[in-house]
Amino acid sequence: MVASKRPMSTSPPETPERRGIPIPSVSSSPTASTGQSIAESLVGSFATNASSSVTAQTDKERERTLYPGRVNLTTYPDQHGIKPHQMVWGAPDAATRGAIICSRLPGSIKVRNALGAHSGSYSIYRALSIAMGSLSPSHKPDYNMTDPPIEIPFSTQWKNVVSFDPWGHLVPSVFRSDLDAGLDARPSIAITRAHIKLSEIDESHRRGDIVVDGTVVHKSRPLKDENGNEVDYDPGVEISVGKAAIEPVWYLPGVAERFQISESLLRRALFEETGGMYPELITRPDIKVFLPPIGGQTVYIFGPQEYLQDETKTLTLRVHDECNGSDVFGSDICTCKPYLIYAIEECIRTAQKGGVGVVVYFRKEGRALGEVTKYLVYNLRKRGGDSADRYFKSTEMIAGVKDMRFQALMPDTLHWLGVKKIDNMVSMSDMKYDAIVGSGIPILKRYDLPEHLIPPDSRVEIDAKIAAGYFSSTKTITEADLVKTVGRTWEETEH
Ligand SMILES: [Zn+2]
Mean pLDDT for each 10-residue chunk of the chain (495 residues)? 41 39 35 36 35 64 88 93 96 97 91 96 95 91 95 97 98 96 96 97 96 97 93 94 98 98 98 97 98 97 98 98 96 92 97 98 93 91 78 86 92 98 94 96 92 81 82 79 75 64
Total structural domains in the chain?
Answer: 3
Same-domain status, 344 and 479: yes
Residue 233 lies in a domain: no
Residue 361: phi and psi, rounded to 5, are -110, 110
Q: What is the pLDDT of residue 56?
A: 63
State yes or no: is 403 an active-site residue: yes
Contact between residue 165 and residue 100 where contact means Cβ atoms under 8 Å apart: yes
Residue 202 CB-density burial (10 A; 0-12 exposed, 13-18 middle, 19+ buried): middle
Question: From the CA of 327, how far away is ligand 1's center (Å)?
Answer: 7
Same-domain status, 277 and 302: no
The catalytically annotated residue of 258, 381, 405, 446 is 405
Residue 287 lies in a domain: yes
Residue 335 lies in a domain: yes
* Amino acid letter for position 106: P
Question: From the CA of 335, how far away is ligand 1's center (Å)?
Answer: 6
Q: What is the number of alpha carbons within 13 Å of residue 206 lying toward its C-beta?
A: 10
Residue 381 lies in a domain: yes
Same-domain status, 333 and 313: yes
Question: From the CA of 56, how far away is ligand 1's center (Å)?
Answer: 46
Alpha carbons 127 and 131: distance in angstroms, whole number: 6
The pTM for the full model equals 0.85
Question: From the CA of 367, how far away is ligand 1's center (Å)?
Answer: 9
Q: What is the pLDDT of residue 106?
A: 85
Angle, nearest 10°, between helix axes 199-207 and 336-352?
60
Question: From the CA of 334, how far away is ligand 1's center (Å)?
Answer: 5
Q: What is the pLDDT of residue 450?
A: 83
Same-domain status, 447 and 327: yes
Alpha carbons 263 and 284: distance in angstroms, whole number: 12
The catalytically annotated residue of 389, 403, 412, 463 is 403
- The domain of 105 spans 94-193+248-291
Question: From the CA of 2, how far away is ligand 1's center (Å)?
Answer: 39
Same-domain status, 53 and 121: no
Same-domain status, 287 and 307: no
Question: From the CA of 451, how far away is ligand 1's center (Å)?
Answer: 17
